[in-house]
């Protein structure tokens, strides 16, 4: 992960089985320190909980949580 620097947008897969759970996703997001993070995948995981835990860390990382089918501009 040390080679991941100056990341603008990170897509973080959260699901908890074959992907990260919420706490792992927060830790990973903090370690790569992107400007924007977009949680994806979601097998029953709560993206709002991810956003809250990330915000509780006091870092300035924007979290965008799109709805299914939503087109977002970054």
Can you give the pTM of this predicted structure? 0.87
Task: Please state the three-class secondary structure of 34-55 as a single string.
Answer: CCEEEEEECCCCCHHHHHHHHH
Q: What percent of the chain has pLDDT over 90?
A: 69
H or E segment to which residue 25 belongs: helix 22-32
Contacts of 11 (CB under 8 A, 6+ apart): 37, 38, 40
Q: What is the pLDDT along the chain (74 residues), one digit of tens a residue?
A: 667 789 999 999 998 778 999 999 999 999 999 999 999 987 666 899 999 999 999 999 999 998 888 899 98
| pLDDT for the residue 1 | 63
- Per residue in 15-32, pLDDT (tens digit) is 877 899 999 999 999 999
């Amino acid at each position: 992960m040390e080679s991941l620097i100056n990341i603008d947008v990170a897509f973080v897969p959260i699901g908890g089985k074959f992907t990260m759970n919420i706490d792992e996703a927060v830790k990973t997001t903090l370690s790569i320190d992107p400007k924007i993070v977009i949680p994806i995948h979601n097998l029953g995981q709560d993206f709002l909980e991810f956003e809250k835990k990330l915000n509780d860390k006091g870092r300035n990382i924007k979290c965008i949580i799109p709805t299914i089918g939503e087109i977002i501009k970054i």
